[in-house]
C-alpha cells in the first residue's frame, strides 16, 4: 500500500509550528507546544502516535481511567489540517484507528478542535456522535466566543 503519511520527528518542529499558527492564530504559543511535543509526545511512543501528511497532522494517545483500568481508550489529542486540505485527514484518521486497535483499545474518541466540519469524516470512519458536550469559557476568545456566565 502506498501510504502518504509518516511518523513525526523532532525535525518536524518548524513545520508543526507553522501549521499550529495558521490554525490557532494569536492564541497559539510555540514554546509550550514544542515542550509538549518534544518532551512528552516523542518520548512516549507507547502512549502517543504522532503522524503527518504534507498538509495535516494527527496526534493520538492511549490512556485509561482508574475506575476501568481494563478499558484502554484512544484519543485524538489534535488533528490540524492546512486550509483546503481536510481530505488529507482521512488517511491519518484511519491510521489512528488502526493504531488504537493494535494497542488493544476498547474505544477510539475524537476530541480535537479542528475548526472544520469533521462529521462527514467521522461518518466515513463509522464513528458515532457522542453527545452531549458542554463548555464554559471564562474569558472571551479571539473569535469572540464566550459562555453565558
Whose CA is closest to 83, among 13, 24, 36? Answer: 24
* Residue 139 clears pLDDT 80, i.e. is over it: no
Q: For residue 68, what pLDDT is reported?
A: 86
Dist. CA 2–CA 11, nearest whole Å: 23
DSSP element (H, E) containing 124:
helix 119-125
Cell numbers 466566543: residue = 145
Q: Most confidently modeled of 12-16, 24-28, 111-115?
A: 12-16
What confidence tier does 27 reach under pLDDT thresholds 50, 70, 90?
confident
> Is the Cβ–Cβ distance between 99 and 74 less than 8 Å?
yes
What confidence tier does 110 reach under pLDDT thresholds 50, 70, 90?
confident
- Domains belonging to the chain, first-starting first, are 6-125 (3.40.630.30)
pLDDT in tens, 63-90: 988 988 899 999 999 999 998 898 899 9
Q: What is the dihedral of CA 111, 98, 49, 81, to 10 degrees?
A: -50
Q: What is the dihedral of CA 65, 8, 81, 110, to 10 degrees?
A: -10
Amino acid at each position: 500500500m502506498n501510504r502518504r503519511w509518516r511518523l513525526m520527528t523532532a525535525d518536524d518542529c518548524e513545520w508543526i509550528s507553522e501549521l499550529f499558527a495558521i490554525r490557532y492564530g494569536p492564541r497559539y504559543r510555540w514554546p509550550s507546544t514544542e515542550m509538549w511535543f518534544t518532551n512528552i509526545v516523542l518520548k512516549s511512543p507507547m502512549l502517543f502516535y504522532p503522524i503527518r501528511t504534507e498538509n495535516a497532522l494527527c496526534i493520538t494517545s492511549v490512556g485509561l481511567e482508574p475506575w476501568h483500568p481494563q478499558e484502554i481508550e484512544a484519543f485524538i489529542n489534535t488533528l490540524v489540517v492546512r486550509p483546503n486540505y481536510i481530505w488529507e485527514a482521512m488517511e491519518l484518521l484511519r491510521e489512528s484507528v488502526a493504531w488504537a486497535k493494535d494497542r488493544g483499545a476498547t474505544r477510539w474518541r475524537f476530541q480535537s478542535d479542528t475548526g472544520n466540519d469533521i462529521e462527514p469524516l467521522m461518518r466515513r470512519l463509522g464513528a458515532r456522535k457522542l453527545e452531549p458536550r458542554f463548555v464554559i469559557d471564562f474569558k472571551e476568545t479571539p473569535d469572540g466566543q464566550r459562555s453565558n456566565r
